[in-house]
Structure 1
Amino acid sequence: MNQFNRYALVTGLLVISFFGACAQGKMKVTLEDVFKKNTFYEQSVRGINWMNDGQYYSSQINMMGYPQVVKMNVATGQQESILLDGKVLGLNFSSYSFNSDESKALVATDVESIYRRSSKGVFYVVDLASGEKQQLMNGEKISYATLSPDNDKVAFIKDNNLYTVDLATNDLTQITTDGSWNQVINGAADWVYEEEFSMAQAFKWSPDGKKIAFIRFDESEVPEFNMQLWGPLYPADYKFKYPKAGEKNSEVSIYVYDLASGQSTKMDSGQETDIYLPRIYWTKDPNQLAFIRLNRLQNQLDLFHADASTGESELIISESSATYVDLNYNDDLQYLSDGKSFIRTSEQDGYKHIYHHEMDGTLIRQITTGNWEVTSMVGIDEKAKKIYFISAEASPMERNFYEIGLNGKGKKALTPEKGTHRINMSPDHRFFIDYHTTTQQPSRITLNKSNGELVTVLEDNASLRNIVSSFALGKKEFFSFPTVDGTELNGYMIKPTDFDPNKKYPVLMYVYGGPGSQNVLNSWGGTRDMWHQALVAEGIFVACIDNRGTGGRGRDFKHSTYANLGALETIDQIEGGKYLAKLPFIDEERVGIWGWSYGGYMSSLALMKGSDVFKAAIAVAPVTTWRYYDTIYTERYLQTPQLNPSGYDDNSPIMHVNKLKGNFLLIHGTGDDNVHFQNTVDLVDALITADKQFETFYYPNRNHGIYGGNTTWHLYSMMTDFLKRKL
């Protein structure tokens, strides 16, 4: 094993239901193994940055407690040099990026998380030849520092305003001046865009480095949410703008700043202000900006091209739906270098596929077709006229890597092995790195030629495989069954390794179930999977079912829950509980269910509406009424509460507390900025009013993930104890 492999950074607790017979002498998984000893670390290859000449890539590793960025030879997989050395620089950096000619690197230190995707930190520009470092803003914390394509400047956000700094002179230019906390944000997303449109940075350099496009958020009229932070003598109020369903959103607008003139020009996005502007793109023309507009109900998506100098815009493509147009399925827009056409994805024919358009929007052709989903575009090789993509063609439970011609012909699987493949492809499309897992195999990371031919194995997690082989782990077995209306649902179950078909076992179902999500996949699982293995070691069956509304099976399956969240999903989970209860080795009196977030919403409803099936449930950080959740997510699936009040109320757990019969454990963090603690407070109040006994626990100041220090150990220990007592 080469030096790089030996010191590849650990990226997390990624563990799985690995096949293992309960052979004599094998150990049982314990909570201590999972949460105290960190027995099941998975090695990975991280921080990949393909280099310009196509012969090398860089990767961030950890060397004796210090970060390093090393230069790797693509052909051999061997390390050739050290590009950045944290020990030499005196910087404990956590991320890095290069400028366009790879003469400079931008590194981030002392990074502080804000919400799910936002952060701020201290940034340095490092000259790779001399090793000299230049600190930005005298060490003040800034966000989203980004080098200009012409290598001269860095743009960043500070205190809700957009700045640039000239690297040669260190001259600072403040582009916006009206940024203010809880009022106006320039160049960074507000809370709800960050959470639901998966964006934090909201500015982009033009291809020639002469302009910057940015989104401005006026959130002055968005209602504030007040979250108390416990600890001081007088608890502090933390107030931030959070638009709950039906309430006012930020007013958004797009500007382009010209560095030469020092002027900003507003792009024309139409007269309607109650809209979303979730994406900006530069075309290959440095004076042409593209952007996406969604209406409030998200059932119409429009693509515009705008003149960056005048702001005049032209509608290029408009797509509408009787339900909603999912941005996540229309988010692979790429402009070709000839400046004459672009490639995008859409699920307009019922499945997410790839389309080729002329610059005026005229369709050239639909490149992929079939009753299966393209899950992501990976790359476009214009010289070879090929597109590389990942899809669920083989099965909704598999993800494989393919190539296809721009003419829609010659589709070929490049990773035929079953399982889940995550791909990082070089910009010249000569090589790709494949992160491959299955339910029985932790990450095997390989460097491959573009035709799929193996170059070298970068990491095979041999150490973890050896560790796993010494434990008696249950195998994850897939199954399917029909619901009451005949719809086939996919699921998996994990049996104890000493399974006795003559015994009766309790079963715990794990659920998330939200629109477009998937839990039933042929992939290496996470910490929760390993907790499930600890439960299996205690003689508890674990099972999981992807209900209607989940992903990987096309638009109609996903959109079936539209305007009535919780109805079909709960029916499917109850039907799943009944299916499992009828198995000869399951004790029908000991069927439980648990979930987190949307899964907590589902487990609460399942226990209340399915009281004849479920005897116990755990709900962690649940939504208990969609009236308390944010605009973008909730209205996409339910419209507004003003338009669809029954869709909000009919399947709120708060409305079904009188049906509770089983054992219920309700858990929430008081510092949850996403699914507010308010959800649990109101459910608790309704349960008390209905004279229902239950158990509840809150974690002071913990956010939606409920972690930090001893928290995770405490949480899973408590849940394990509850299941032992009640299931």
Structure 2
Amino acid sequence: KRFRHDLDDGREIIWMSERDGWNHLYMLDGETGQVKHQITKGAWPVRGVDSVDVENRRIWFRASGMNPDQDPYFIHYYRIDFDGTGLVAYTEADGMHEVTFSPDRRFYVDQWSRVDLPPIAELRRTSDRSLVMELERADASALLAKGWQYPEVFVAKGRDGVTDIWGIIIRPINFDPNRTYPVIESIYAGPHGSHVPKTFGTHASRTSVAELGFIVAQIDGMGTNNRSKAFHDVAWQNIRDAGFPDRILWHQAVAREYDYYDVSRVGIYGGSAGGQNAMAALLWHGDFYDVAFSSVGCHDNRMDKIWWNEAWMGWPIGPHYSESSNVDNAWRLQGKLLLVVGELDRNVDPSSTLQVVNALIEADKDFDFLLFPGGGHGAGGDFGMRKRNDYFVKHLLGVEPPAWERYVASDAEGDR
């Protein structure tokens, strides 16, 4: 969240700030650094600046949350004058937008979609935003004919009883509302972004897990980005929070809505920051989460890359680092945990996971561990995904996974 554009050799500066509680643009006096006036204003965040028209004193930017009847994460495109007047919206349809302007900005292509709506592309005239022609409208009928289902967008109140928490629900193709399904949450709560998908896709990685007999969910809890400063600041020096109080309330709200959503059997998986989150679920919320698959996690923010961790945990290092450390809190473990790490991970030091392993052993905790020789920053490829899936099948469905090597051997013999 940073933007600076100098005007008139630095006599004026367009500056991005959250000083009023939302991410907005301000005009500063370049000599004194004082705010001359606020350019954008409202209970919504600027998501980025696309261009600054110095000659006409206009800013072309992206924002979300300006449309109260839409998902607050949906990005829309706007223009505003330097003095904060003349706001123009170039997108309005209910979806996540991506706009490409012609070089002379006389026309633009607006492509938009949702998780439950295939992409639509339109050519529009910039001067009055009028529709010139529809360029394309994607057709998902072939997918739907095979039994594939759109994810469901679900909204529930967070820990404060006021803030909306947004997530998606993915069901298996053979979904039967008359039976119950264990729930698996795909988590990545890195404070640098928001992570729930907002555009159309098959979401194959999550769908493949659901096909095993689960319902898969993904949620953006408090502490993630692209809402208010207060929403984001939950993560400040408190990365262990990961929005879990909101996530659990969200799951419970879904269970009240749907009898088949079984929150007595809940798994969670994630990698990198999500790996830290997945293990943390069993440390601080083992009364709700039962099984976790944690890959290449940054389990202690004192030893991972400085630039990322200090952005959220601050400097100097204090007791709050230990309070959020999976290493220092490994003794709290409840439930079933599978830790995965690559030997040559160059993003998150593998020692981060090995320190957790050591702490769990010292605390006499039962867990599972998989090290990939020569492996990098990932979940272990196809083998790692199989181990993850088998782990959830065994511990949430209560089914012993097949002896897969028999099938591999059979396929090899068939090839010969």
TM-score, structure 1 as length reference: 0.49
Deviation at 1:461, TM superposition (A): 5.1
Structure 1 pair 635/474, CA: closer, same or farther in 2 (3 Å)?
same
* Kept in 2: contact 1:378–1:424 (CA 8 A): no
* Kept in 2: contact 1:378–1:423 (CA 8 A): no
Distance between the aligned counterparts of 2:107 and 2:143, measured in 1? 31
- Please tell me whether residue 524 in structure 1 is matched to residue 200 in structure 2: yes
Distance between the aligned counterparts of 1:536 and 1:483, measured in 2? 25
Structure 1 pair 423/714, CA: closer, same or farther in 2 (3 Å)?
farther
Tell me what 1:285 maps to.
none
Deviation at 1:713, TM superposition (A): 2.9
Deviation at 1:487, TM superposition (A): 4.9
Tell me what 1:449 maps to.
125
Tell me what 1:381 maps to.
53
Tell me what 2:402 maps to.
none
Deviation at 1:449, TM superposition (A): 3.2
Match of 1:637 among 312, 317, 323: 312
Aligned AA (1:657)? A
Match of 1:657 among 324, 330, 348: 330
Aligned AA (1:376)? G
Deviation at 1:389, TM superposition (A): 1.3
* Kept in 2: contact 1:378–1:425 (CA 8 A): no
SS in 2 for 1:532: helix
Deviation at 1:618, TM superposition (A): 1.0
Tell me what 2:79 maps to.
403
Structure 1 pair 633/713, CA: closer, same or farther in 2 (3 Å)?
same
Match of 2:241 among 567, 571, 584: 567
Tell me what 2:391 maps to.
722
Instruction: Give matches, 1:133-148, under 5 Å.
Output: none
Deviation at 1:551, TM superposition (A): 1.6
After superposition, the C-alpha distances for 1:643-697 in whole angstroms (9 at most, x for unaligned) are 4432111121223333323221211222221211111111111222222222222
Instruction: Give matches, 1:207-606, under 5 Å.
Output: 329-331=1-3, 333-336=4-7, 341-360=12-31, 361=33, 363-392=35-64, 393-394=66-67, 395-426=71-102, 428-451=104-127, 452-455=129-132, 465=140, 467-488=142-163, 489-525=165-201, 529-567=203-241, 569-580=243-254, 583-606=258-281
Aligned AA (2:329)? H
* Kept in 1: contact 2:157–2:246 (CA 8 A): no
SS in 2 for 1:600: helix
Structure 1 pair 483/404, CA: closer, same or farther in 2 (3 Å)?
closer
Distance between the aligned counterparts of 2:54 and 2:314, measured in 1? 41
Deviation at 1:454, TM superposition (A): 4.4
Higher strand share: 1
Structure 1 pair 442/715, CA: closer, same or farther in 2 (3 Å)?
farther
Distance between the aligned counterparts of 1:436 and 1:544, measured in 2? 21
Match of 2:353 among 680, 683, 686: 680
* Kept in 2: contact 1:351–1:555 (CA 8 A): yes
Name which one, 1 or 2, has greater alpha-carbon Rg.
Answer: 1
Tell me what 1:690 maps to.
363
SS in 2 for 1:686: helix
Deviation at 1:517, TM superposition (A): 1.9
* Kept in 1: contact 2:186–2:206 (CA 8 A): no
Structure 1 pair 351/431, CA: closer, same or farther in 2 (3 Å)?
same
SS in 1 for 2:183: strand
Distance between the aligned counterparts of 1:700 and 1:430, measured in 2? 55
Deviation at 1:521, TM superposition (A): 4.8
After superposition, the C-alpha distances for 1:115-152 in whole angstroms (9 at most, x for unaligned) are xxxxxxxxxxxxxxxxxxxxxxxxxxxxxxxxxxxxxx
Tell me what 1:699 maps to.
372
Match of 2:320 among 623, 626, 647: 647
Distance between the aligned counterparts of 2:371 and 2:395, measured in 1? 20
SS in 2 for 1:388: strand
Distance between the aligned counterparts of 2:105 and 2:8, measured in 1? 15
Deviation at 1:541, TM superposition (A): 0.7
Identity score, percent: 29
Distance between the aligned counterparts of 1:580 and 1:384, measured in 2? 50
Aligned AA (1:624)? H
Higher helix share: 2
Deviation at 1:352, TM superposition (A): 1.0
After superposition, the C-alpha distances for 1:43-98 in whole angstroms (9 at most, x for unaligned) are xxxxxxxxxxxxxxxxxxxxxxxxxxxxxxxxxxxxxxxxxxxxxxxxxxxxxxxx
Aligned AA (2:49)? M
Structure 1 pair 487/453, CA: closer, same or farther in 2 (3 Å)?
same
Deviation at 1:518, TM superposition (A): 1.1
Distance between the aligned counterparts of 1:434 and 1:705, measured in 2? 34
Deviation at 1:388, TM superposition (A): 1.7
* Kept in 2: contact 1:473–1:533 (CA 8 A): no
Deviation at 1:370, TM superposition (A): 0.2
* Kept in 1: contact 2:116–2:152 (CA 8 A): no
Count of paired positions:
388
Unaligned 5+ runs, structure 1: 1-328
Distance between the aligned counterparts of 1:503 and 1:566, measured in 2? 34
Structure 1 pair 387/485, CA: closer, same or farther in 2 (3 Å)?
closer
Structure 1 pair 714/447, CA: closer, same or farther in 2 (3 Å)?
farther
Distance between the aligned counterparts of 1:700 and 1:568, measured in 2? 30
* Kept in 2: contact 1:397–1:520 (CA 8 A): no
Aligned AA (1:370)? G
Instruction: Give matches, 1:598-617, under 5 Å.
Output: 598-617=273-292
Deviation at 1:337, TM superposition (A): 7.2
SS in 2 for 1:409: coil
SS in 2 for 1:479: strand
Unaligned 5+ runs, structure 2: 397-416
SS in 1 for 2:329: helix
SS in 2 for 1:627: coil
- Structure with higher RCO (Cα < 8 A, 6+ apart): 1
* Kept in 2: contact 1:442–1:461 (CA 8 A): yes
Deviation at 1:386, TM superposition (A): 3.1
* Kept in 1: contact 2:180–2:262 (CA 8 A): yes
- Please tell me whether residue 619 in structure 1 is matched to residue 291 in structure 2: no
Aligned AA (1:605)? A
* Kept in 2: contact 1:391–1:401 (CA 8 A): yes
Tell me what 2:403 maps to.
none
Instruction: Give matches, 1:75-94, under 5 Å.
Output: none
Structure 1 pair 564/511, CA: closer, same or farther in 2 (3 Å)?
same
Deviation at 1:596, TM superposition (A): 1.5
After superposition, the C-alpha distances for 1:470-507 in whole angstroms (9 at most, x for unaligned) are 43223322223334443532222223455443321111
* Kept in 2: contact 1:379–1:429 (CA 8 A): no
Tell me what 2:409 maps to.
none
Structure 1 pair 661/563, CA: closer, same or farther in 2 (3 Å)?
closer
- Please tell me whether residue 628 in structure 1 is matched to residue 303 in structure 2: yes
Distance between the aligned counterparts of 1:715 and 1:345, measured in 2? 42
SS in 2 for 1:605: helix
TM-score, structure 2 as length reference: 0.83
Distance between the aligned counterparts of 2:263 and 2:330, measured in 1? 23
Distance between the aligned counterparts of 1:484 and 1:381, measured in 2? 42
SS in 2 for 1:562: coil
Instruction: Give matches, 1:131-170, under 5 Å.
Output: none
Q: Over the residues paired in the alignment, what is the CA RMSD in angstroms?
A: 2.8
